[in-house]
Amino acid sequence: MTDSGRPLAGVRVVALEQYMSAPYCSLLLADAGAEVIKIERPGLGDPRRSIPPFVEKDGVRMGVGFMAYNRNKKSLALNLKSDEGRDLYRALVAKSDIVVENLRPGSVDRMGLGYEALSEVNPGLIYAAVSGFGRLPGREGPYGDWPSFDVVAEAMGGVMHMIGFADKPPSPSIYGMPDLYAGMAAAHGVTMALYRRTVTGRGQFVDSAMYDGVLSLNERMVSLAANTGARPRRGDPPGFYPRGPMPVSDGYVAFTIPDDIMWRRFCRMLGRPDLLDDPRLTSPDLRTEHRALLDEVARPVFAELTRDEAVRRLQEVGVPAGPVQTSEDLLECPQLEARGVRVTVDYEGLGELQFVRTPLLTSDAPDVPVNPAPTLGRDTRQILAEILELSAAEVSRLAAEAVIGTDQGQTATGSGAVRSDGAASSGSLRRA
């Protein structure tokens, strides 16, 4: 086996996934070098394939959201409603390291494909389940069988309660944030379980719940309520001021003044050292209480500055600050260019498209692969032939009987996933 130099080269992942949360988890693993085999329904695929917006050109069409979270993966179209389809799935899992799955709670168990059943055929299996409310046996809770989308997790996790204005309804945050965070937490759990397997030789169940993840991001609400009696509400200041966006001549800049150190620096930037002696402004709580006074002093100063000028002046006195950027700004940001955060992926028939890479870089392998998301069933024949060692005749029979789906218009190569067909030595993260 050729080592790609990426951290998870040689690790095989079976991704029984849809929408965003589990696909983001497996994307993180794929970007780290794992071979990710995405299981999809023949003829339909991941529902996100058909969710707009789309990129279309000369009769070729793909969903932008699907492309964003399914780079560097293979697609195996497999009918899990059939006995043979489930048998093929079990056989593939037996030769893999990890399963990542986010179907509705109970679905895989009803098919006989849950963690308990699969760990019997592969005791070293690491099984990551991403769900709305958690699936670890004994910790499911009263909501464990509820399905969830991002807005449900944000609502129940208190985030939505805090976004917006006091006299307006609650508002969601950015699209899909709970999904992506739950997927990231699941990938973190998977890598910990991989390391633990080198010690014990056994796999384990990794449980990532969107509700848990959102609450961990919003822990301040709970810690304040539990320990101080405070009841944070939408529109309330956070306990220090200024904080957040400040209008300037060409947009907004963002900064925060959380303590007296930053307050002294901020007064210097304003050219108002006299404010340091104002008894109404001598503590964060007082500055929050008298924020109207602060606005009266600060806003005229900032109104005369551009974003670049305001950021420069704040940073010169040691106050961290940045512009509130638009999508146009992000597409032109030199920092993102230097970091390689915007990646270009070449799609046949669609040309070069831009996406955002997963966030982590490592010194040994700083460049993330940029292979396009697969067409539905593109790699079915290759996977069945090379991993499960089925003959061409047998694969053709399975296709004719609708047990599998294949993409006859695509080659089986070029998915960018790293093959992992070598035996590993004792203590390795890879399969034995």
How far is it, in rounded angstroms, from Cα 186 to Cα 26? 9
Task: Kindly give the pairing relationship between strand 342-347 and strand 351-356.
Answer: antiparallel
**Start-end of H helices in 157-304:** 159-162, 177-200, 210-217, 219-228, 260-270, 284-289, 291-303
Taking CA 267 as the corner, what is the angle to CA 263 and CA 268, rounded to the nearest 5 degrees? Answer: 115
Q: What six digits make up the tokens of 379?
A: 């790699």
- The upper half-sphere exposure of residue 212, i.e. CA atoms within 13 Å in the direction of its Cβ, equals 20
Q: Are 113 and 90 spatial neighbours (Cβ–Cβ below 8 Å)?
A: yes
How far is it, in rounded angstroms, from Cα 405 to Cα 364? 38
How far is it, in rounded angstroms, from Cα 432 to Cα 422? 9
How far is it, in rounded angstroms, from Cα 79 to Cα 42? 6
Among the listed residues 179, 207, 212, 379, the single catalytic one is 179
Whether the link from the prior residue into 178 is cis, omega within 30° of 0, is no
DSSP string, 121-185: H-TT-EEEEEESS--STT---TTTT----HHHHHHHTTHHHHSS-TTS-----STTHHHHHHHHH
Q: Which residue has the tokens 């999809």?
A: 40
Q: How many helices (H) and strands (E) does the chain have?
A: 18, 14
Longest dimension (CA), the chain: 86
**Of 429, 421, 345, 425, nearest to 37 (Cα)?**
421
3 catalytic per annotation: no
Which residues are within 8 A (CB) of 36 and not within 5 positions of it... i.e. 6 or more apart?
Answer: 13, 15, 26, 27, 29, 30, 72, 73, 74, 417
Catalytically active residues, by annotation: 179
